[in-house]
A and B are shown apart, each in its own frame.
Chain A
Amino acid sequence: MNRRVFIVMAMLGWGVMAFGVLGLFHNSARTHPGEWVKWFLGGALVHDAVLAPVVFGVALLLGRVPRPWKASLQGGLVAAAVVTLTVYPFLRGYGRRPDNPSVLPNDYSSGLIRTLAVIAVVTAGFAAGAWWRGRKSGEVAGAAAASLVGDRRDEGP
């Protein structure tokens, strides 16, 4: 780190943060700082304490997947999980209201299933490609094959 650059940027950044905090308290009738801070910090807590460990758990399980399919499967799972997480609030229909059917008008479970199906097909395509190239190059099994695959077996998180 360049010390001088950091000190200048840190002072600037903390100034901007202080402005945000002042606004938060200045406008406390609307921001409810006590409630707000729970949501502001809660996201980081949920990520570090729940989401990240779950991802590492799944990554460990994937350690057993045979190598031609592993990279594709990882990629497919990442895409599927992120899309599901994003659509989840719509899927549950939290914002639906009886007096306004134009809110959340889609069938989100069907939309999600169709999206996951597309991801599955693409994943299978990549896996088949890696397997095919691995077969062609014999024992070197995909090392040079896809840019998706490398050649070490002791992968943990």
Chain B
Amino acid sequence: MRRRPMVRMARGVTRLFDPPAGARIGPLKEGFFKSRLHDERLSAQLGIALGVTFTICFVTGLLSHLIQYPPAWFTWPPRPAGLYRLSQGVHVATGIASIPLLLAKLWVVYPHFWTWPPVRNVLHLIERISLLPLVGGSIFLLFSGLANIGLWYPWRFFFPAGHYSGAWITIGALIVHIGAKATLTRRVLARDRGRSEAPGDGLSRRGFLGVVGGTAGLLTLLTVGQTFRPLNRLAILAPRRPDVGPQGFPVNKSAASAKITDDHVGPSYRLLVTGAVTTALALSLDDLRALPQHEATLPIACVEGWSAETSWRGVRVAELLQRAGAAPDADVTVESFQASGLYKASALNALQARDPDTLLALEINGETLHIDHGYPVRLIGPNRPGVMQTKWVEKLVVS
């Protein structure tokens, strides 16, 4: 008696796999989609391209996450100085280039949405259910990433956290999809090598691939100059220009939005070095200028994918730590005057804090820092995300 509901459910599932033929109408009918571009080979090629671009985005994105929220086992070195700039530039550029690839792929495979019967067996059901996080997640990642590089936040979640969770879910769904399609993809690509075009008077398969690749290339060419300086003049569609902003480079958070006032950065300003030190320091701007000055040419490399290289001048963090008597392997937290927020403070691990190019900068290109670039004092170090180059520095806390 108690098994009856199970039996009924099993019957329901069987019926799911064998739906009445009369339900097969409209796009569910065989041959409803006539374009020769709804093609297995195109689908395989675009799928491989997306597999590559999404993997690049996932790995570079994960790296950026680890750098900003380092677990105990992860130490991000200060060298090579431009590695983060490269990795994050690639993350954003690859994401932008994926937009035409994804839209093309979705269009090529769209008839499968109406496949008949909708589910053939349990494995097929699992495969199809996994497509929802795959398609939803892919669109979500590219859309939210694109909005974020234009500083547009139409949602209520915190972008990095939402994008990060979305990335894991999408990559998981991609793994399921690769499991479902790997054999077919290999077979289709081997079988159809050199196959002639199917008849038709619209775009051919090869023509379509050319258009998709060309569009991806065009979008890259017109945006990548935001980080790749030689193409700056072409960056007419980029959300940033590396040479536009106060003192010739962009700003992410202005002093006004960080609520910086004269109380913080006026003549009463003192830089504090505190925590695990033998001598706590409180240095005025004149005290800082009297210390040995060091010059370094380093990029600001923003998580949003733009970057700009500038010449900085200021006091070495290592010098201050030595004067305060900090232990040689001490980590440092750099705190800002900026109003509360996740980026109010940033961490310098021991390697970063001792790097000779890690500075508390007072000048950019020989000029006093603009208030939007962090006057009176900002942190600048090699191989760090822009959000961790803390501005309006209030104190160094040694631990």
Q: Which residues of A contact B (CB under 8 A)?
A: 1-3, 5-10, 12-21, 23-24, 27, 30-32, 35-36, 39-44, 46-48, 51-52, 55, 59, 62, 67, 70-71, 74-75, 78-79, 82-83, 85-87, 89-90, 94-95, 97, 99-106, 108, 110-112, 114-115, 118-119, 146-157
B161 touches A71 (CB 8 A): no
The 4 closest A-B pairs by CB, nearest first: A9-B179, A20-B168, A43-B139, A16-B172
Say whether B48 faces chain A, with CB atoms less than 8 Å apart: no
The one of B130, B204, B238 in contact with A106, judged by C-beta atoms closer than 8 angstroms, is B238
Interface contact tally, CB-CB below 8 A = 284
By the criterion CB–CB under 8 Å, are B206 and A20 in contact?
Answer: no
Chain A residue with minimal CB distance to B139?
A: A43
SS class of chain B's interface: helix, strand, loop or mixed? helix
* A31 contacts B157, C-beta separation under 8 Å: yes
Q: Indicate the size class of the contact surface on chain B.
A: 35 or more
Q: Are A16 and B99 in contact (CB under 8 A)?
A: no
Q: How far is the CB of B170 from chain A (nearest CB, A)?
A: 8
**Beyond A20-B168, A104-B150, is A13–B107 a contact (Cβ under 8 Å)?**
no
Interface residues of B (CB under 8 A from A): 33-36, 96, 99-100, 103-104, 106-107, 110, 113, 123, 126-127, 130, 132-133, 135-137, 139-140, 143-144, 146-147, 150-158, 161-162, 164-184, 197-204, 206-208, 210-212, 214-215, 218-219, 222, 235-241, 244-246, 249-254, 256-257, 372
Whether the pair B198, A86 counts as a contact (CB closer than 8 A) is no
When distances are taken between beta carbons in the complex, the residues of chain B under 8 Å from A21 are: 165, 169
Picked from A1, A19, A151, the residue with its CB within 8 Å of the CB of B172 is A19
In the assembled complex, the Cα of A157 lies from the Cα of B180 at a distance in Å of: 26
- State whether A105 touches B244 (Cβ < 8 A): yes
- Neighbour of A52 across the interface among B110, B200, B203, CB < 8 A: B110
Q: How far is the CB of A37 from chain B (nearest CB, A)?
A: 9
State in angstroms the CA–CA spacing of A3 and B377 once bound together: 61
Residues of A within 8 A of B133 (CB): 17, 40
Residues of A within 8 A of B36 (CB): 150, 155
